[in-house]
Structure 1
Amino acid sequence: MPGLPPMVAPPAGRVDDPFTAVDAANGVGTVLARVLDERLRHSRAVDPVFARELAGRLATLVERGGKRLRTAFAHCGWRAAGGSGDAAAVLRTGAALELLQACALVHDDVMDGSVRRRGAPALHVELARSHWAAARYGSAEDFGTSAAVLAGDLALAWADDLLTETALGTPHGRRLHEEWRAMRTEMVAGQYRDLHAQAARSSDVDEALSIATLKSALYTVARPLALGASLAGADEHLLDALRTAGRCAGLAFQLRDDLLGAFGDPALTGKPDDDDLRTRKLTYLLAVAVRLAEATGDHQAAAALAPDADPGPEKAVRHVRSALRRTGARDLVEAKIAELTDLSLGHFGRTGAPPAVRHEFAALVGRATGVAPHGGEGAA
């Protein structure tokens, strides 16, 4: 995740498997490189222009990727279900998750009008700026948007191909594919609810939580855990426990991302710190601030936070940030993240996973949420 510290190995002596979640997160890059090389060779055979201008740029985005947390959580789920030894299927599943993430990021940037991603221009912006044909298409922006939609679709196709190949090569492929299929639909549902909330100019707290759960929490942590566990033949009881732990951790992860989107340093996060504020995007942070402003009669804050407020200049964005602090919303969200982190660790501890695996999970959750584990069964 942008803005988070690099992955480091757990303390010596705490992990009994020489191949850890940290190794999985680091090692998936090698698998991705092989997969992308294969896909690019095929793309060049299909059409060299398409390969150079679209598939190549998509591959660059994927290789520039984030912290590979989804792969690490998939490995953690695999270990929790008793997986050991050769983790090749876990790494291939992680690579599929990274490709799916690329699809989500490209499409999300188009829908949100974001201009930066992973420290570089968003793909639709890069395509609009660089292609000579853009001016003949109608406008550079139209060309970049249309081409980026195709790039996101291509990432999804690559992800599905890789997951299907992996499922066909494992005795537990049916369960693996069931988790993947559910995750894809949840992700699209969350993206649509996000668009719907923007169109309706909603500031409802429950709706914000539903969107965060569908759009991010499930496919960031809950489903990766279940995907990894499926590869080890986990039963439904264990899968349910992992999904519950992952839902809490994933929601905390998204709430942290909302805070970074409002108060983070773009040099560290790799994306602007005012997109959500300028558009009054429905997040749990914003919804809570609106509710608090209304409850306390803070009309100035309510006006600054209103979904239909004029985006205005940088001064308007400063007013939104000020309102988020003054209403107490920022502090409340921090407390919610800590609460969800503790709940997640407790649920994971009840899976019966070995102490070393619980320690790995606690470290990953702490890294994703920015909250250091301080107790509970999951912290081992």
Structure 2
Amino acid sequence: MGTAWDQAGFRGRVQAALEAFLDEQAERLLPLGRDAARLVAEARTSVAGGKMFRASFCWWGHQAVAAPTDEDAVVRACAALELLHASALVHDDFMDASDSRRGRPSTHRTFEHEHRGSGWRGDPEQYGAAAAILLGDLLLSWADELVRRCGLPLAQVAPALDVLDLCRSEVIAGQFLDVSVQARGHADVDTAMTVLRYKSAKYSIERPLHLGAALAGAGPETLAELSAFGLPLGEAFQLRDDLLGVYGDPQTTGKPAGDDLVEGKRTVLVALALDGAPASDAALLDRALGTPLDEADVERLRGVIDASGAHEQVEAVIDQLTDVALAALDRASVDDDAREVLRSLATAVTRRTV
């Protein structure tokens, strides 16, 4: 295997696997009529246009241990993680009352608008909420199904299903921790890091690496080596996401300016800013979180965060965590070609602008 990797080609293979799987589901649900077709259509939208980092780390987690004996089957297993991710986003957008995702209306808003435009009975918002809950549940179920039926022998798939089970438990419990933190209106840096680790960091990089490696027959020592790389890298990845949630360009991110501030996210960035800002600025930031904000409000809060030193601190922590991850990767007993691609992926996930 050469170290040159056609990342766009891989994304195309994953997308094709997702489309084929959804075609199969659409056929299964055909007797349910138009409404089921609408649900599958929204599922297609929810898995389109992503960066597919989770599928990529799954693939290279496998390659780090052994070359696939059935590439198409492994691609399908990798694609399952994009269904898991889509499920989390659909539910997350509803819980955060987010209006958009990737530059288009979020799922609950899409179905809410359909209800309202059709003049149906009942509450349009409640209908949108129900649709988002059900679609997220369906995507979560399908993630498990796609791994189980990826095409590899069940004995080979079983350890990967154990990883998927743990991954789902972590991300769902992490999400509940997140909404509980927002409800209490307080999170210190340690709490914010725990939310970050379990809601996003583990399921974004560490568990995808584990799933791919488990399919390749990896033992506990190899999984531990991949954790030493994947967990700090996942934390750096999510810290970058937190910065984009405040400083990202809406034209690039597909989300409104300062969206995390409007949603009241108690991220590590915000926790550091509240700790480091003068009392009056900290009180201003704390009061503003989770309230409607115009562009001038967002810019003012960015100024508070910058002046507190939190922005600079988070950038420094991203660099430190990335260095820790790459040092662990250098020590790991993995395929050298895979090591090189994983290094490039580490750069991609921590230096991104979207």
Interval containing the TM-score (normalised by the shorter chain): over 0.9
**Structure 2: segments with no counterpart, 5+ residues:** none
Instruction: Report 1:181-220 matches (<5 A).
Output: 181-220=165-204
Measured after TM superposition, the shift of residue 290 of structure 1 is 0.8
Overall identity of the aligned pairs, in %: 38
Deviates more, 1:320-329 or 1:24-33: 24-33
Note the C-alpha offset of 1:135. 5.0
Kindly indicate whether residue 291 of structure 2 is the aligned counterpart of residue 311 of structure 1: yes
1:363 paired residue number: 344
Deviation at 1:274, TM superposition (A): 2.4
Change in Cα spacing, 1:345 to 1:18, as seen in structure 2 (3 Å) is: closer
Distance 1:21 1:246, change over 3 A: farther
1:65 shift after superposition: 3.0
Matched, 1:60 2:40: no
Correspondence for 1:291 among 269, 272, 275: 275
2:328 corresponds, among 308, 331, 347, to 347
Deviations 1:93-144 (A, max 9, x none): 1111011111100000000010110121111111111235875443221111
Helix, strand or coil at the partner of 1:237: helix
1:16-55 paired onto structure 2 within 5 Å: 16=2, 23-45=9-31, 47-55=32-40
| Preserved contact between residue 65 and residue 334 of structure 2 (Cα < 8 Å) | yes
The match for 1:230 is 214
CA RMSD of aligned residues (A): 2.1
Within 5 A, what are the aligned runs for 1:33-182? 33-45=19-31, 47-62=32-47, 64-131=48-115, 136-166=120-150, 169-182=153-166
Q: Mark the CA change 1:179 to 1:22 in structure 2 (over 3 Å): closer, same or farther.
A: farther
Report the 3-state secondary structure (helix = DSSP H, G, I; strand = E; otherwise coil) of the residue aligned with 2:155.
Answer: coil
TM-score by length of 2: 0.93
Q: Does 1:276 align with 2:260?
A: yes
Q: In the superposition, relative to structure 1, how do residues 213 and 77 fare at CA in structure 2: closer, same or farther (>3 Å)?
A: same
Judge conservation of contact 1:280–1:305 (CA < 8 Å) in 2. Answer: no
TM-score, normalised via structure 1 length: 0.87
Q: Can you list the C-alpha shifts for 1:16-62, whole angstroms capped at 9, x where unaligned?
A: 267666643332111111111111111223x1122232222122221
What is the aligned length?
Answer: 351
- Structure 1 pair 246/21, CA: closer, same or farther in 2 (3 Å)? farther
Distance in 1 (CA, whole Å) between partners of 2:290 and 2:227 is: 40
Q: Helix, strand or coil for the counterpart of 2:265?
A: coil
- Going from structure 1 to structure 2, the CA distance change for 1:352 and 1:22 (only over 3 Å counts) comes to farther
Moved more, 100-109 or 350-359: 350-359
What amino acid is the match of 2:50?
A: G
| More displaced 10-residue stretch of structure 1: 237-246 or 311-320 | 311-320
Q: Which amino acid aligns with 1:51?
A: A
Number of the residue aligned with 1:324: 305
CA distance in 2 between counterparts of 1:306 and 1:175 reads 45
Task: Report if aligned partners of 2:232, 2:325 keep a CA contact under 8 Å in 1.
Answer: yes
The alpha-carbon deviation at position 355 of structure 1 amounts to: 2.7
User: Are residues 336 and 309 of structure 1, via their aligned partners in 2, closer, same or farther at CA, if it must alter by over 3 Å?
Assistant: closer
